[in-house]
Chain A
Amino acid sequence: MRYMLIIHNDPELHPTPGSPDWDQLMVDYAEFSKQLVERGHAFTGDPLNDPSTATTVRVRDGQTLTTDGPFAETKEWMSGYYVVDFDSLDHALKAAAMVPSAKFGSVEVRPVAEM
């Protein structure tokens, strides 16, 4: 079963790029991704740029409305995701707890709706 691990971060609590904490975070992410592969979990996933770079599109009555900014202004924002195959929610939750950002942000686990 595939699950999306949606990583949410509070930028105030998140290490800033260039700091030693940031460098460590990158090392931890590389290690986490390596662990997934070594345990036979194929995955896709990427980090995302921050919400100041976001553009939101809505189509209403045939009109495309484009707004600057994310879909919702929140303190925590989605900063990346993984889509991974696990055999049950328990394994997905265990992996979610190992996502490096789980220590200061949060990781939402959502099953992929297989169509």
Chain B
Amino acid sequence: MEAALEAVYRADRDRVLARLIGILGEFDLAEEALQDAWVAAVSSWPTTGVPDNPGGWLVTTARRKAVDRLRSASASARRQRAWGELAITWDLGDGSGPIPDDRLSLIFTCCHPALSLEAQVALTLRSLGGLSTEEVAKAFLSSETALAQRVVRAKGKIRQAGIAYRVPSSAELPGRLGAVLAVLYLVFNAGYLPPSGAALVNVDLCAEALRLCQVVITLMPDQSEPLALAAMMRFQHARREARVDAEGVPVTLEEQDRRRWDGAEVAAGLELLDRARAMEPVGPYGLKASIAALHVAAPRPDLTDWAAIVALYDRLLAWEPTAVVRLNRAVAVAMAVSPADGLALVDDPVLARELDGYHLYAATRADLLRRLGRVGEAAASYRVARGQTNNRAEHKFIDRRLRQLEEPTAGPPG
């Protein structure tokens, strides 16, 4: 029975919660009512058996529990009002029909740009992922108390500032969908590249991000960008075994053992990307996934189609004219044309000013200088990069590069 309960919880929880927030108009009340309904399920299902439509049963029961809670809290004027609205819209079915799917409304509300990015991530993982605040705090290296306060504040703002519980209109959709996908990608990367010192969390954030992305794909089948993001996640995931060595030091794409890439993940990513590219226009995630696809499609690093990658970065710049995209394009130019051409782009004074203090800027510059044989300048730039990051694995990587630079020029002792 426990396994059956667990399966229902996993399959239906986010859909039931989304529906309850839609009905009750309040995150906290919906969460509490679902908790109550869950307790009722655990005590009654072992004798009555799991209902045919467990999700519908949970929604119906949680609505009753919400009424109980509102009655007992009737002193509060705000809750009184909610109770009045609830009574009017009350239509307690037998819970046998399908639950309307409110998960998109929920995800767009959680990822509303009027909320802080940290609150967006925490709300999404809590309400759609069922993670606890403690788990989210651990994964993102925040203090649990501070994160809990941000979540409370965000829920308060949703209610008081009138953030609507709905899917944005088509005119607003591109920007708002972009915000949702940014949150999902942030969650994926927190699982893929945990911040240094992050405690090991008992949740697979990569799998969770991919699952949520799949929910968006299912509910918005005519949008190409969620497909492209899922493809990108698959490509990244395919390389997970090869991206660090036995000592946990990052291995560059060029030096990775491509036999250790996961072929099934690559294939799944390519299939998603094909579906995305069949739709117009190709958006920023479509372009980034296309770039990643050119990397994974190359059997050897020297067979990478760098000219095509440069062309994709040119198109990406039209969507995202950011310094980081320009830096990545410069690397592609270095590979497609020559390290000197790449370095000239990296040394652009505007870019240098914008990325001042970003350790990957100094590290990229160091790498291009290394390729050009300018050993002294390369070492100096690696040392700058080393001072700009606290990540121990990155330090090890840079130290190794510095030793490699010193080796050929070091004279025999004595």
Contact = CB atoms under 8 A, between A and B. Distances in A.
A80 interface: no
Interface residues of A, number: 13
A93 B161 CA distance: 11
B220 interface: no
A94 to B, nearest CB: 8
A111 B162 contact: yes
B337 interface: no
Q: Please classify the interface of chain A as helix (H, G, I), strand (E, B), loop, or mixed, using the class held by over half of its residues.
A: mixed
A90 interface: yes
Contacts of B112: 89
A4 to B, nearest CB: 12
Interface in A54-96: 86-90, 92-94
Nearest to A1: B162
Contacts of B160: 111, 113
B11 interface: no
Nearest to A110: B161
B114 interface: yes
Nearest to B158: A89
Size bracket, chain B contacts: under 10
A87 B114 contact: no
B114 A88 contact: no
Highest count of chain B CB atoms <10 Å: which of A87, A89, A94: A89
Interface string B145-168: 000000000000000111110001
A92 B112 CA distance: 14
Contacts of A86: 162
A113 B163 CA distance: 15
Contacts of A89: 112, 114, 161-164
B172 interface: yes
A88 B112 CA distance: 12
Contacts of A113: 160
A66 to B, nearest CB: 34
Contacts of A92: 162
Contacts of B114: 89, 93
Contacts of A93: 114
Contacts of A109: 161
B156 to A, nearest CB: 11
A88 B168 CA distance: 11
A114 to B, nearest CB: 10
14 contacts: A1-B162, A3-B162, A86-B162, A87-B164, A88-B163, A88-B164, A89-B112, A89-B162, A89-B164, A90-B163, A90-B168, A93-B114, A111-B162, A113-B160
Interface of B: 112, 114, 160-164, 168, 172
